[in-house]
Structure 1
Amino acid sequence: MDLDLKGRKALVTGGSRGVGRGVVLALARAGVDVFTCYHEDSEAAASLERELKDAGGTHRVVKRDLARPADAASLVAECADTFGKLDLVVNNAGAISHVPYAELPVEEWQRIVDTNLTAPALVIRHALPLLGEGASVISIGSKSSEVGIPLRAHYTATKAALRGLSRSLAKEFGGRGIRFNVLALGVIETEELRARPAEQREKLAAMYRAKTALGRLGTPEEVAGAVLWLASDLSRYVTGATIHVDGGIS
């Protein structure tokens, strides 16, 4: 199906690995011009640039630390210089750690909040002048924000906050025709999981498969499918929603 996305302009944060990479490449292959960023120099970032060249279109891959407000501002400013407008923003960049709450340093709490909540809020705020009627803003959330997970109180708090932020912005900017939605992900198989020792990897995968209605883990491409739908006019009456891309995980 042709979603009629060719020529649209998108900003995707955290695009060099995992879900972000799957989203960036799916958008580029659908004809969208994509501006994305990464946190640390790596072969993943370099290989993404090569793949985007092969996909055709106008794409940029830049380095930014979105936990720094100045980097969030400069990212959107450079995107504005490149495209002049935006039809889609995908807040994907995020951080996670596993720390007992009683031992959680305030610095680690702040790092996760800065990356997972403040950065998306600032990216959206700076992007607002570039967004016109029909624009779509998608924030990548997590099923864990509904159920809670030990050792991740700081992470799940930020993902729950993204829902409130998106719901409020949907009402504030609905009159301008700008839509705000959250994708609540289940367990997605990415490089992080594949990099674990084989025994540990299989143990984790088996545990999550058993908790998931479809009996398997998700893929970045499947998350990208939901992004493509929310980027298209097929979803033009969908806003303020949290859409679960989780395989029915409990």
Structure 2
Amino acid sequence: MSGRGVLVVGASSPIAVAIAEAFAAPDAGGARTAGGGDQVAGGGDRVAGVALEQPPTPPYQVALAADCSTAAGAQAAVDATVEAFGRLDVLVLAAAVMPVAPVTETTDEQWRAGLDATLGTAFAVCRAALPRLPRGAAIVAVSSVNATLAAPGLPAYAAAKAGLEGLIRQLALEYGPAGVRVNAVAPGMIGNADLPHVTDGYPLGRVGTPADVAGAVHYLASAAAGFVTGAVLPVDGGLSIASPAAYLRPDLRARFLPD
């Protein structure tokens, strides 16, 4: 693991920072990380992130400012990471926005923003990065349970995440022969621990943390997952396996939920 170059796209979010920390941690082998724009670069393995316009702060070693939903911005972020680290081994796709509105009230701008931030960015960055990725490299995308589980008011976000998972499978198929693995994680609710009623829908009895997501991303990028590609790993405390009846019917709730 030591010495890899890692680019985190969408690096300013709590989940992205936790991911960068997982790669940069000394016990992780010290990857180098980069980030910028909304993406950043940082340390351990070396980590770069995209869309921070200030000097890099831990866990990032390189801070990049680029609109990675565009071909030029994506290419600039990839080139800057390779220039800084001499290599790019892991690409983490964590950029997203979540417009909240019913379909009939979703504006054209919200629709485009939701798709561009997640799906457009993923496509542009992968297209720029794939020629630079060596055999043994890994791409890990941050999807969401909303790619498969509908929730009110999230048409753009859900469509973007579903498209992201389709893109991940396509890339895994096409670039497997080149030795590049491509996977995704699908988190449930992350944070919001101050909403106790929310945990009722999670078999593990709690919502997730950024560190939960980071651990799964780090695993999928590691040699331990060397025969895993094209997979979407739920990181949702069991939310996606639970029948709604288990929570809606009092007789079923009584079987496993405490009074």
TM-score by length of 1: 0.84
Q: Secondary structure at the match of 1:183?
A: strand
Contact 1:84–1:130 (8 Å) recurs in 2? no
How many residues were matched structurally?
Answer: 225
Aligned-partner Cα distance in 2 for 1:222–1:146: 20
The C-alpha deviation readout for 1:140-167, integer Å capped at 9, x for no partner, is 0000111111110111001011111111
Instruction: Give the corresponding residue for 1:8.
Output: 4
The 5 Å alignment of 1:54-203 reads 59-189=61-191, 193=192, 202=194
Aligned to 1:17: 13
Deviation at 1:51, TM superposition (A): 2.6
Are the counterparts in 2 of residues 16 and 48 from structure 1 also a CA contact under 8 Å? no
| Deviation (angstroms), 1:75 | 1.1
The answer for unaligned runs of 5 or more in structure 2 is 40-51, 241-259
More helix by share: 1
CA distance in 2, matches of 1:47, 1:107: 28
Q: Which amino acid aligns with 1:8?
A: R
Identify the residue that residue 27 of structure 1 maps to in structure 2. Answer: 23
Read off the aligned partner of 2:108 and give its amino acid letter: V
2:199, 2:207 within 8 Å by CA — same for their partners in 1? yes
- What is the alpha-carbon distance in structure 1 between the residues aligned to residue 13 and residue 37 of structure 2? 8
Residues 167-217 of structure 1, C-alpha deviations (whole Å, 9 max, x = no match)? 11111111011011010111111xxx5xxxxxxx73xx2232111111111
Paired residue for 2:209? 219
Identify which of structures 1 and 2 has the higher relative contact order when contacts are C-alpha pairs closer than 8 Å and 6+ apart.
1
Cα RMSD over matched residues? 2.0
State the 1:47 CA deviation.
Answer: 9.6
- Aligned counterparts of 1:48 and 1:167: Cα–Cα separation in 2: 35
Pairing partner for 1:230 from 212, 220, 240: 220
Q: Which runs of 4+ in 1 moved over 3 A?
A: 45-50
TM-score, structure 2 length as denominator? 0.81
The structure having more radius of gyration, on CA atoms, is 2
1:171 aligned counterpart, secondary structure: helix
Q: Is the 8 A contact 2:36 2:53 kept in 1?
A: no
AA in 2 matched with 1:20: A
Give the partner amino acid of 2:139.
Answer: V
Report how far residue 123 of structure 1 moved: 0.5
Identical counterparts, % of pairs: 34
Q: How far does residue 26 in structure 1 lie from its aligned partner after superposition?
A: 1.2
